Structure 1
């Protein structure tokens, strides 16, 4: 799917005009990929890399354009079962146009950063900036979910919440790796800003991007370390809760065994004491209750 945009009065507007300046290809078909390769001399392998979620971020210089592949968070859905994943985005910066290639349809030009845009290079940088904000938002959500799960695990006795925490910790590891890889690309951009053609304003934005990315990486590392340390502790809590439940069941079982012993003895088909007494049943019930009471006193004395 192709969407075209043009800059008009510092606004980025969708258009069908052939004079469009920004082209967004979402999950391009084979025909669209062939058109990009033939018409814009985009390397076929590079184009495929832009759609590969496992591709490493990188910055490359071609004769007619500059290639940037970076990682961004994928849109989360309930079927992902608390696994937050990353995807690749390819941006091909020409002198008079920007081509963006990605695997899934997401709102790209949203937020206050796109309220006013002037140049293609500014759009290029703001797309990168928005991806960092997307990471920060996902990290905040992951932190909220982990705190909620930790509260629920206090009384939990199964492994469901442990699996949830593991999924979140796994997501944070992937996020930290993606953010780090993006950081290398941003640093390379800064070092080669003159070759790319960034002006002073673009370089200031790129500096802000690098700082925000470093802070995002630090935040991801902190959350990942916290979850990694808590997983062991929470596993111990689940095990301890299970032990407490077994203890309670054993207490109930022993309580039942004491009166059962007395009743079983008087259920034998032989001559027994008080067998002819008119109140023998209630006397036996009383003996059972006294024995249970004595067992309870003994347990309390032992702090069991």
Structure 2
């Protein structure tokens, strides 16, 4: 899919049919025809390939003709049915003359606010500002999804306190894997941002310089929050593994106690059921005496278990 937009009037985004100066080309999983159009305006084939490779690391590359590629990893929720619900995907941003091009393998909801003209100050006429806005939105998206993970971990934690199986622990493991992806993505994005700061590409305007500082600060904050959540979750999983074991031990203690208590009447009735001469064998009320003995033994055993705190 390839769509072309430009900003008109009061910073309203309008879709157009042809490439023009200071436009934004939004590309998602491009077809052969889409790729051909990008080649026709001078986009290097490698830049397209890098942007579609989901294993690429964030970085900045510049061609001799001035074409610049920014690669960053953005957070992405792919669904609870996957082994890792939250991952990171690559978003490529290309500067070709006065044209801004964004390329990704999947539909990236990070760009939806721009497509819906909901970002204050956004304009396709300001390509540097556009990249900084995307970087800032990326860091905030990490924090947003991190809050979702923390909330879901708390729900699992409540269930886990009474759990006897590994289902909840395995669910926590999925979130821990997601946090590893987040931490790696934020760390590599930070390296790329620091390189941008050193190259002074975005220092043409004072507002852009301040915005870049905000982006770096927000990214560092997001990374620290992810690291804290990951450390807490790792410790929590170790603790809950012990809790599950303790819960299972409690169940086994109860079952063992019930087995012992029920074995006492069996012992008594077995004794009086022997085919030999035994006391009270001829008594008319012997059965009630035997039942009374059984009851006394059951109550006595139960009281002993309570006193020893075995149940």
Task: Report the TM-score, using the length of structure 1 for normalisation.
Answer: 0.93
Moved >4 Å (runs of 4+): none
Residue in 2 that maps onto 1:291: 297
Moved more, 275-284 or 104-113: 104-113
Count how many residue pairs are aligned between Structure 1 and Structure 2. Answer: 302
3-state SS of paired residue (1:50): helix
The equivalent residue for 1:55 is 56
Q: Which residue is equivalent to 1:121? A: 128
**What are the superposed Cα offsets for residues 39-86 of structure 1, whole Å, 9 maximum, x if unpaired?**
233333332221222210010111231100100011342322563111
Determine whether 1:253 maps to 2:259: yes
Mapped partners of 2:45, 2:291: distance in 1 = 88
- Residue 88 of structure 2 corresponds to which residue in structure 1? 86
Q: RMSD of the TM alignment (CA)? A: 1.9
Contact in 1 for aligned 2:52/2:103 (Cα 8 Å): yes
Are the equivalent residues in 2 in contact too, given 1:12–1:114 (CA < 8 A)? no
Deviations 1:153-175 (A, max 9, x none): 11111001111111111111110
1:8 aligns with 2:8: yes
Please show how residues 223-234 of structure 1 align to structure 2 within 5 Å.
223-234=229-240
The 2-side partners of 1:33 and 1:267 are apart by 91
| 1:113–1:126 contact (8 Å) kept in structure 2 | no
Shift of 1:197: 6.9
3-state SS, counterpart of residue 101 of structure 2: strand
Residue by residue over 1:189-223, the C-alpha shift from the partner in whole angstroms, topping out at 9 and shown as x without a partner, is 111124x6742221211111001000001100100
SS of 1:74's equivalent in the other structure is: strand
SS in 2 for 1:114: coil
| Structure 2: tracts of 5 or more residues without a match | none
Question: Which ranges of structure 1 fall in alignment gaps of 5 or more residues?
Answer: none
- Structure 1 residue 187 displacement after superposition: 1.0
User: When the two structures are superposed, what TM-score results if normalisation uses the length of structure 2?
Assistant: 0.91
Query: 1:255-300 CA distances to partner (integer Å, 9 max, x unpaired)?
Result: 1001111112223344432222111111111000111122123223
Q: How far off is 1:12 after superposition?
A: 4.2
Corresponding residue of 1:187: 194
Whole-angstrom CA distance in 2 between matches of 1:113 and 1:94: 25
* C-alpha distance after superposition, 1:69-127 (max 9, x if no partner): 10001134232256311100001012311010011123414178613324222222212
